[in-house]
Homo-oligomer: A and B are copies of this chain.
Amino acid sequence: MISRRQALAGGGLLIVGVLPIRRGRAATQQPGATEKELIFRSTEPRNAEPKLSDLIQSWITPTKFFYIRSHAPNPRIDPQQYRLKIDGMVDRVTELRLEDLQRYPERTITATLTCAGNRRAEFNQQAPVGGVQWEAGAIGNATWTGVALADVLNDVGVADQARHVWLEGLDAVPHGEGTIPFGASIPIEKAIDADDGLGALLVTKMNGEPLSEDHGFPLRAIVPGYIGARSVKWLGRVSLAEHPSPNHYVAEAYKVVTDTSPLAWAEAGPIYRYPINAAIGKPEAGMTVPAGPLEVAGYVLPSGKRDSRVREVWVSADGGRGWVMAELVGEELPYCWRLWRAEVEVTPETKELICRASDSTGEFMPPRIAWNAKGYLQNSWFRLPINVQ
């Protein structure tokens, strides 16, 4: 259901600096990764993930191997005409040009983004789930450069009653008989929790380069610790309110439900933080390997809470009876994944490799998780089929 407010806002925003929706490539702004670099699950909208063997090559994910998640065709935005609207419970309703954002201190953080639907395809072993059929590649770690959302909000002035920050994209997602902007909502504490540079950012650069069209050019939100859906791309509007956004992607979608009745949607709360997760990227699924010692490698993401750190990653080659502790490699930063490697003994009886992990906040990957209708937050033990000769 689309509210009049949403419909008006979406309609209004599309006039402000948004050219007709692109369907091919523009000369001025490359959308990003190609079909060679990513596995496209759909092309309109563009949804793609890397091969896991590519993904775990480096702690910083090169943009060409960074998953793409879109709900509508990429909007093509003229940066000269672009305006970020800030409204709702603020002292001064404001429109900012890109150059206006440069008044605020520049901040760069490294943070992992992961889709709430990462590893969704595994749910189909229990019962079918709809949505983009992600394997374990809907995750990536990048540097993000921009300004603190807190700095901007403090500047425009936030009313005492404001409790939530709505984020709205300039895209137009088909919905009912019309379109709606993709929207998110974050508690104000997350928006202003920037004392140590770990709050939400408004970013113009990814891995040191201007955002590609696929990743939200010219401006997107980055909300460390939260599912990727809260890091709205092609950001057009920031609104302050007493309650979470009624946008479809907050009030209805991105929820863990076992049926999709309107009542079940309404009763469930929005997903914010991502849970701990891990996957094996080496060897590749279905590969044939010789019996004996085998090098295994993958990624692990601690749960999206402040101060959450990876504690242990374990790998089993015998169905979960024996486990080898993996070695964590590379940097450890808040809200970032780690890479890991382990050596296990495989025999002709080995049918799969399993990995599981735990973090410092007490979260762990369980052997299995309950099925949910939209296939979100799959973080049970990761199982990789292999053949041993």
Q: Which residues of A contact B (CB under 8 A)?
A: 1, 3-4, 160-161, 163-164, 187-190, 193, 242-244, 246, 251, 261-263, 266-270, 272-273
CA–CA, A242 to B244, complex, Å?
10
Please tell me if the beta carbons of B261 and A189 are within 8 angstroms of each other in the complex.
Answer: yes
With a CB–CB cut-off of 8 A, which chain B residues contact A242? 3, 246
B269/A161 in contact, CB under 8 A: no
The answer on a CB contact under 8 Å between A251 and B243 is: yes
Assembled-state Cα–Cα distance A189/B267 (Å): 10
Q: Pick from A1, A187, A242 the residue with the most CB of B within 10 Å.
A: A242
**Contact: A263 with B187, CB < 8 Å?**
yes
Residues of chain B lying within 8 A (CB to CB) of residue A266: 163-164, 187-190
Judge whether B4 and A263 touch: CB under 8 Å. Answer: no
Determine the chain B residues whose CB is within 8 A of the CB of A268 once the complex forms. 269
CA distance A243 to B187 in the complex (A): 15
Complex contact B161–A263 (CB within 8 A): no
Residue of B nearest to A89 (CB): B3
Q: Contacts A190-B263, A193-B263, A273-B267 hold; do A4 and B161 have CB atoms under 8 A apart?
A: yes
A162 to B: closest C-beta gap in Å: 9
- Known A-B contacts A189-B261, A262-B187, A262-B189; the reply to A161 vs B243 at CB < 8 A is no
A202 to B1, CA, bound (A): 27
22 residue pairs bridging A and B, Cβ less than 8 Å apart: A1-B160, A1-B161, A163-B246, A163-B251, A187-B262, A187-B263, A187-B266, A187-B267, A188-B266, A189-B261, A189-B262, A190-B266, A193-B263, A242-B246, A243-B243, A243-B244, A243-B246, A243-B251, A267-B269, A267-B272, A268-B269, A269-B270
Cα(A176)–Cα(B369), bound, Å? 41
Q: Which residues of B contact A251 (CB under 8 A)?
A: 163, 243
Closest 8 CB pairs of A and B: A269-B269, A187-B266, A189-B263, A267-B272, A243-B243, A242-B246, A3-B161, A189-B262
Q: What B residues does A161 contact at CB under 8 A?
A: 1, 3-4
Q: CA A4 – CA B160 in complex, angstroms?
A: 10
What's the minimum C-beta distance from A281 to chain B, rounded to whole angstroms? 30
8 further A-B pairs in the complex, CB-CB below 8 A; given A3-B161, A189-B261? A163-B251, A187-B263, A187-B266, A189-B263, A189-B266, A193-B263, A242-B246, A243-B244
By beta carbon, the residue of chain B nearest A243 is B243
A163 and B269 form a contact (CB under 8 A): no
A154: min CB distance to chain B, Å: 17
Which partner residue on chain B sits nearest A190 by CB separation?
Answer: B263
Docked CA distance A116–B267 (Å): 15
Closest CB of chain B to A195's CB: distance in Å? Answer: 13
Cβ contacts under 8 Å, A243 to chain B:
243-244, 246, 251
Give complex CA distance A272, B257 in Å.
Answer: 13
Distance between Cα atoms of A1 and B188 in the complex (Å):
13
Bound-state CA distance A187–B269 (Å) is 12
Minimum CB–CB distance from A230 to chain B (whole Å) comes to 11
| Alpha-carbon distance A262/B192, docked complex (angstroms) | 12
CA distance A164 to B266 in the complex (A): 8
CB distance from A212 to the nearest CB of B (A): 30
Give the residue name and chain of the B residue nearest to A164 (CB).
Answer: B266
Contact of A163 among B1, B164, B189, B193 (CB under 8 A): B1
**Which residues of chain B have C-beta atoms less than 8 A from A189's C-beta?**
261-263, 266
Whole-angstrom CA separation of A268 from B273 in the bound complex = 10
CB nearest to A265 among chain B residues:
B187
Q: Measured between C-beta atoms, what is the minimum distance from A14 to chain B in Å?
A: 21
